[in-house]
Structure 1
């Protein structure tokens, strides 16, 4: 039978998705002063709860308030915010759309000004991105503590009514730092070869499984590669896929790159552009390794024809939508019920390029502005307002600076 975007999907753990659309994680920066979920966050997710998705995944929820990726991150260390978390999940309880929480530790990508703590990482290697701080290498006991923090956050999420969690294993965050030989230069049980470098993510998955019920879903967002010479390769990524499948993962979302080499925001080659999705070719290459575990692909999809083709061909099982949902929160409903052929999109780039190019890496700046512009749209929806596609790059730059400080714009040497 041919699979369509409207086809239901049963995950290995038994959870049911009504269709093949997933709202992928977008960092909302809408936590309150105590790192709990705010009313604005709940109001934002009410838009997506009505959107007709098969699955909705939250933006990254941190597992340690000392180490946060950006201001406004929600953090779960215990049950102090349980009431607010239940309110966040409440709109999904009766609608039939599972809500998963993306759980994350930023590692060396932590914003030191937010946590007021020196970032930590597998090895003391600084990221080549604006505003970064050289991290401190983690001790063995600290690594084990972080593993348990993932488990605690997941158990609290289940108590709050979330249907699952997604481990963030992409885009240069801590899981990715353990996987890459560029950022993990340890020679102990957590590094030294590919098997030991992937131990961290396997232990995180095992700890989450031990702390939650059998019906609670666990997925991962995984890099196909980090696109840096000497870094995490597609062959190593395939080995991680095989290991995760053996441990009972429910869904693997494929992405790639980091904020040093942002493939998830980059330019497509012609063969990729024809199919729209950045990582579809890699996803197709791991079908046999996945052994029945569904594969989701996020990044680049804009036309319903390309989405339908990707699912019907079996190259992926789930279509992930990120930035388009900032402008059209009910994208699946618009495609499946209203016949929308192409999703709205906006690529934001800095102006004054001859001037800014002398003081900043324009590719990194464009990526930061694009993220900020889309974050602004999330904040509008959190305030109960419609998205504003006319918003300028200058407004995005202003709010990027206000949210993250002047370090967001500093060029990094080396």
Structure 2
């Protein structure tokens, strides 16, 4: 069965003064704060003790990628979460450059999880990439703490990260209904999806919309448009099927020079590709035909196991996999035990006096980042 994809299309036509309750911006491996994309990233003074600081000031494209935190064993950042709900989690990576045999860039291969969600599996940052790699996830977090765990796949490998973002998403970013684009047409898809929100790039900020935490200003600095004179109406197509007809950005945002995005749920074809295109609308005047597209974001939706990365293939000989497997099996065994006890109590007629089980404590109370050997708690559903 194909994995549904959440497709966000960005159109410029201002970002609101949204202030996230949770706003963790971490400059990993650094002792100083820096400003990146008009946001302030703080040093990771409470980083896992087992980690290694890394600095490579010569080749990095910006200050954010001139330092990194390296992990040779499973390690976690622990962050306080004050607001239950959908959060944006972004992980920033830029290739490690080192002549040390213990830090061979080709040995960087690891998994990343976030409090039960498996974000990345067997992740590798190509050593020849020129631009940073940013992995973005939308996950539902409960009030309390979140663990961002990095696990090397084996004893010879290591994990690293240049920067981490955990930010509260706007309350209306994820809706219960989105448009599903299929060969049968456009229909409602009731799952993890978002509805259109008004937000912008490098323009005036206004109340009542999203923020630059959703998409950076640079998304709206460039656009793709038809080679025609400007016009108001155009159509959007996903996989060759009509997804949005007669789109008028100024009508959708109720103002000019204001960005807009809309999202759909679609599946890739058998070859694993997905196409997005814009074209003229029948409502366009023959002398004013145009269409624009500033950006496309394709996000994989989680499965029922909370997996946002590729399925984890267990190799018992590798230490990192063994830790993952033990954590997963332990969570499943515990959940099974709870179900058995609950069903037994119902059959014995003790429902009235039944006391629900509570999770075993797995986190420290000092609110700091710390080493945690169990990288995968039990099964969690997707939002």
TM superposition score normalised by structure 1: 0.25
Structure with the largest fraction of strand = 2
Structure number with greater Rg is 2
Structure with the largest fraction of helix = 1
TM superposition score normalised by structure 2: 0.27
